[in-house]
Amino acid sequence: MQTDTKADYSIRHDPADRMLRITATGFWSAGLAAKFAADLLAQGVILRLRHGAFYTLADVSDAPVQPAGVVDQLAAMMPRALQLTSAPIAAIAGSILTKMQIERYLNAPNCRVFTDHDEAVAWMQSVGLPT
């Protein structure tokens, strides 16, 4: 099996708008999904302790539908990730099929999946951060 050289992610905090921004690209391997899960949980803990509540915006519009094993790993991570914040979590999918796949594991009351960036941000801001 060939490695997808575009498969990657970034996680960064924007203090000005209290947002954790995640970008994911390419076709992920199980190893990359495991690394992402560990990085996200570690950074989420630090962010919560230092800054309190934060929005999460995951832009996966440049990532295709992922293998079942990757989705299973992300689904297994979500209960721990959801313990870090009750603030809005929005994902931006690049297609309806990818949106449906993400909705399988991003399905808590504070989570939504969109295909439009502006709609995702507007929804998060309308819900607001918990006090």
User: Residue 131: its pLDDT value, please?
Assistant: 78
DSSP 8-76: EEEEEEEGGGTEEEEEEES---HHHHHHHHHHHHHHHHHHHHHH---EEEEEEEE--PPPHHHHHHHHH
Q: Where are the chain's structural domains? A: 8-127
**78: part of which helix (H) or strand (E)?**
helix 68-82
pLDDT, tens digit (0-9, with 9 covering 90-100), for 74-113: 999 999 999 998 999 999 999 999 999 999 999 999 999 9
Q: Report, as an integer, the average pLDDT of 55-80.
A: 96
Q: What percent of the chain has pLDDT over 70?
A: 97
Domain 8-127 falls under CATH 3.90.1170.10: no
**89: part of which helix (H) or strand (E)?**
strand 89-93
Q: Report, as an integer, the average pLDDT of 49-64.
A: 95
User: Residue 5: its pLDDT value, please?
Assistant: 72
Mean pLDDT of the chain: 94
